[in-house]
Amino acid sequence: MKIVVTLDVNGEPRQALADGRDTLLQLVRDQLGLTGTKEGCSNGNCGACTVLLDGEPVCACLVLAAEAQGAHVTTIEGVAVGNALHPVQAALIKFGGTQCGFCTPGVVLSAVALLDRVAVPSDADIRYAIAGNICRCTGYGKIVEAIQAVATSRQEASR
């Protein structure tokens, strides 16, 4: 039995047919073709499939597609504005916070959610916010520096 799921993805109304067992991850990648969201462990440990569900980071592999009925979902494809990268994306490039890139979409969304919620995150806040995003390349130092730099420049801009 297929379910019609109607939801808002990156600010656009979308509709997709999902199986009862399908996850939000499958809906986003296979039905909507938004393959920036990555499948890693499929059990909530790695964070590669992180998307924002009604503004909060979640593992898309742990949400049934049917549960997303009426939800607002932000994927990595939705964070840039036109051709301008989101400041978090730009900072990750500048600071070398991305290597193989597989964890990067999830890291970006976790960081975007943190910066939306906390004006001046501490080093510990940043590390806790990305604790669910496993990165095997960078050692995290450069990712933390990049997120810190975005927070600092945002603070300076608001003065």
Partner 1 sequence: MQELHYSRPTTVADAVVALARPDARVLAGGTDLIVQVRENRRQVAHVIDLKRIPELNAITRQADGGWRIGAAASVGRLGRDAAFAAEHHALLDSARLIGSLQIQNRASLGGNVCNAAPSADAVPLLICLGARGVVAGPGGRRTLPIVEIATGPGRSSLAAAEILVAIVVPAQTGRWAAKYLRFTPRREMDIAIAGVGVWLQLDQQSAITGAAITLASVAPTPLVAAAAQTLLVGERLSPKLIAAAAQSAADEARPISDTRGSADYRRQLVAVLTRRALEACAGELGIHGT
Binding residues (CB under 8 A) for partner 1: these are: 1, 3, 19-21, 23, 42-45, 47, 50, 53, 56-59, 61-64, 66-67, 69, 110, 113, 128-129, 131-133
Distance CA 81, CA 85 (A): 7
CB of 50 to partner 1, least distance (A): 6
CB of 69 to partner 1, least distance (A): 8
φ, ψ of residue 46 to 5 degrees: the values are -100, -25
> For residues 21 and 159, which CB has a smaller minimum distance to partner 1 in the complex?
21
> For residues 90 and 134, which CB has a smaller minimum distance to partner 1 in the complex?
134
> For residues 62 and 90, which CB has a smaller minimum distance to partner 1 in the complex?
62
Q: What share of the chain is helix, strand, coil (3-state, %, to 5)?
A: 40, 20, 40
- Residue pair 102/47 in contact (Cβ under 8 Å)? The answer is no
Give the number of other Cβ atoms within 10 Å of residue 31's Cβ.
16
The type of residue at 2 is K
CB of 159 to partner 1, least distance (A): 27
